[in-house]
Structure formats: C-alpha cells, structure tokens
Amino acid sequence: MAIALPMIIISIAIVGIGVYLLILVIKALRTYIRSQEVRQEKAKMARSLAEVLKQHRNECKMTQEFVAEAIGVSRQAVSKWESGLSDPNTTNLMALAKLYGISPEDLLREVEQ
C-alpha cells in the first residue's frame, strides 16, 4: 500500500506533463497555421524584389553576366535573385542599386509599392 500511493502520484505527474506538452504543441501549430498569410506576403515581397531587379537590369540594357561581373558575384546568383529563389545580401543590394543608378532606398521603395 505504501508503494502504491507514490506510484499513483508519479503517474499523475507524468500524465500532467504529457497533457501540458500536448497543449504547447497545439498552440504552436495554431500559431503556425495563422502565420500563413505572413509567409505568403513574404514570398510575394521576394517575387516583387525579383521583378524590380530584373526590370532595372533590362532598363539599363545589361545582361546577367555583365551585372555579375560588375558586382563580383556569379551569374547564377543574379539569376536566383531575379527569379525570387534567393535575395541579395545588403552589400550586393547596394552594389546593384549603384550599378543601376538608383539609391538603395528607392530600389526598396519600389518593392514596397
């Protein structure tokens, strides 16, 4: 009898911990599901940046190879930026803006619109 009581208390504690962890997982999943709009908006912004970069390159009548050589990256990197698969880092974004004859702020403003 003396051993049964501590075992019951331990069992209840384990069940309580399990229920608490289940509640935390459910809350995390609900938060993730609700953030779908934010993730979609972020993807849209990436596509918009890609479109802006490609538009400026075409307006300046430059090839991807020329842009890549001018800022010191590979042509594949420029292609990924323009297709929206990745985004340029801050240094490369500033170099792109300078190459296209536009300020980095104006370049990013175009993405926001």
DSSP letter string, 7-73: HHHHHHHHHHHHHHHHHHHHHHHHHHHHTHHHHHHHHHHHHHHHHHHHHHHHHTT--HHHHHHHHT-
Residue 68 and residue 77 in contact, taking contact as beta carbons nearer than 8 Å: yes
Whether residues 78 and 57 fall in one domain: yes
Whole-structure pTM value: 0.59
pLDDT at residue 3 tops 80: no
> What's the whole-number mean pLDDT along residues 71-98?
94
Position 98 scores a pLDDT of 95
Q: Are 56 and 107 in contact (CB under 8 A)?
A: yes
The total domain count for the chain is 2
45 & 71 share domain: yes
Residues 30 and 85 in one domain: no
Q: 50 and 99: one domain?
A: yes
**Of 42 and 87, the one with more pLDDT:** 87
Q: 47 is in which domain, residue-wise?
A: 41-112
In the predicted structure, residue 16 carries a pLDDT above the cut 60: yes
Q: 45 and 27 in one domain?
A: no
| pLDDT at 66 (0 to 100) | 96
- Whether pLDDT at 113 is above 70: no
> Measuring CA to CA, which residue among 97, 86, 91, 85 is closest to residue 53?
97
Residue 102 sits in the same domain as residue 72? yes
Take residue 21 and report the two structure tokens written for it. Answer: 């962890």
Please determine, for residue 46, whether its predicted confidence score (pLDDT) is greater than 60.
no
Same domain, 15 and 50: no
50 neighbors 81 (Cβ within 8 angstroms): yes
Q: The domain spanning residue 55 has which CATH number?
A: 1.10.260.40
